[in-house]
């Protein structure tokens, strides 16, 4: 896929880089182009523009005996700025373009003319993107709100023209400075999707089916583990005035906090979720073991994930007998020490009760 990136406009001295992700009509999108790939990590090189050079010039006009130096200063080079914008949920554009250099500032000229300030480059990234230094550990900025931005590489200042150096003892300076070089660095972009609630659980727990049942999202659904290979987002609308964003996160397995399976890469997305909806496959004989496995991985990962409000759901009620429902639900409530909801994403049984519990937990969290 070619990089969907273009230069537009020159408003306010800014050069904007836009990423095209979805046509207006979802049906048209599927007909015109393949679905946008998900990428939550990218390494890029950024360099601010060099400053413009100062000028050496002297005023020479007929019938004016005293001229003097009038070389202007150079203009500032452009900055490279990262800005969080709504409507994006992938860093895929930065797979195809990794180098971003801002233009150089204009050179100074005679008649005390200062060089033009160069345009800034704006890199548009999804809300929730973190900027890390090259060591992949030092956090430079967390763009967790629309419009939030950070200067990744500052443009260099322009050099002084010879008019800057004139004095009572130096009437005709012939010195002018080169522009200062712009900053340059390698940085990592790491996306942590922002969702109100996240669906967690072992592979094949029914998370994708549940998300498809409660939102307009259409994740891949199949009868084998690791069907979901990257997070999916869906908007759940309970009423015209009540809605929240629900994320279907790839299935975790034992050892995920140490890199097993899909590893910690997608555990990071849970950090943004205020409430966790833990789905447990009720068709399996030991739901308590499944619950403990996920809880251990959340605690091992850290970041307070094991302390988030958790709504426990025994899923796939349609695949259990009444006796199995009673025994497994009771065993799970005894182990977890909290109520367990019963649901089936396939038939819709218990789904409204789960959504209401999520909405109530979000209200309590916001308060």
Q: What is the pLDDT of residue 80?
A: 97
Q: Tell me which fold the domain 197-366 belongs to.
A: Rossmann fold (3.40.50)
Token look-up 């345009």 returns 119
Is pLDDT of 258 > 70? no
> Residue 78 CB: number of other CB atoms within 10 A?
28
pLDDT mean over 126-130:
89
Q: What is the pLDDT of residue 246?
A: 84
Q: What is the pLDDT of residue 251?
A: 58
Indicate the domain borders of the chain. Answer: 5-191, 197-366
- CA dist., res. 166 & res. 244, Å (int): 65
- Of residues 18 and 219, more confidence is placed in 219
Is pLDDT of 260 > 50? no
Quickly state the pLDDT bin for 229 (edges 50, 70, 90): low
Q: What is the pLDDT of residue 2?
A: 41
Quickly state the pLDDT bin for 87 (edges 50, 70, 90): confident
Residues 7-44: tens digit of each pLDDT: 333 333 444 444 433 334 433 433 344 444 667 789 99
Quickly state the pLDDT bin for 66 (edges 50, 70, 90): confident
- Of residues 19 and 276, more confidence is placed in 276
Q: Which CATH superfamily is domain 5-191 in?
A: GTP1/OBG domain (2.70.210.12)
Residue 357 and residue 310 in contact, taking contact as beta carbons nearer than 8 Å: no
- Pairing type for strands 139-143 and 197-200 reads unpaired
Token look-up 């995920």 returns 256
Residue 275 and residue 309 in contact, taking contact as beta carbons nearer than 8 Å: yes
- CA dist., res. 134 & res. 161, Å (int): 36
Is 5-191's fold the same as 197-366's?
A: no
Residues 288-301: tens digit of each pLDDT: 988 888 888 888 87
Is pLDDT of 287 > 70? yes
pLDDT mean over 111-122:
94
pLDDT mean over 55-66:
83
């Amino acid at each position: 896929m070619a990089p969907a990136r273009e230069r537009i406009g020159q408003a306010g001295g800014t050069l904007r880089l836009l990423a095209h992700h979805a046509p207006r009509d979802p049906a048209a999108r599927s007909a015109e182009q393949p679905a946008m790939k998900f990428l939550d990590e990218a390494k890029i090189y950024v360099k601010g523009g060099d400053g413009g050079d100062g000028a050496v010039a002297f005023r020479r006009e007929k019938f004016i005996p005293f001229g003097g130096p009038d070389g202007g200063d150079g203009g500032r080079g452009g900055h490279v700025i990262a800005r969080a914008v709504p409507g994006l949920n992938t860093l895929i554009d930065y797979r195809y373009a990794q180098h971003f250099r801002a233009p150089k500032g204009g050179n100074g000229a005679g008649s005390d003319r200062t060089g033009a300030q160069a345009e800034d480059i704006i890199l548009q990234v999804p809300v929730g993107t973190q900027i890390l230094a090259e060591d992949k550990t030092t956090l430079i900025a967390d763009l967790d709100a629309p419009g939030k931005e950070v200067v990744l590489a500052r443009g260099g200042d322009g050099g002084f023209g010879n008019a800057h150096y004139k004095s009572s003892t130096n009437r005709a300076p012939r010195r002018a400075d080169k522009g200062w070089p712009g900053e340059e660095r390698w940085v990592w972009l790491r996306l942590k999707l922002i969702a109100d609630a996240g669906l967690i659980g072992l592979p094949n727990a029914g998370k994708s089916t549940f998300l498809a049942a409660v939102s307009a999202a259409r994740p891949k659904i199949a009868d084998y583990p690791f069907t979901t290979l990257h997070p999916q987002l869906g908007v759940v609308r309970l009423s015209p005035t009540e809605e929240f964003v629900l994320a279907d996160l790839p299935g975790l397995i034992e050892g995920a906090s140490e890199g097993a399976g899909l590893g910690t890469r997608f555990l990071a997305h849970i950090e943004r979720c205020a409430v966790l909806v833990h789905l447990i496959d009720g068709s399996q004989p030991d739901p308590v073991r499944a619950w403990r496995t996920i809880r251990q991985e959340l605690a091992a990962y850290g970041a307070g994930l094991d302390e988030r409000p958790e709504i426990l759901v025994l899923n796939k009620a349609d695949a259990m007998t009444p006796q199995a429902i009673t025994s497994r639900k009771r065993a799970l409530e005894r182990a977890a020490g909290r109520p367990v909801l019963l649901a089936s994403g396939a038939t819709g049984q218990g789904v409204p009760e789960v959504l209401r519990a999520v909405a109530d937990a979000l209200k309590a969290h916001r308060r």
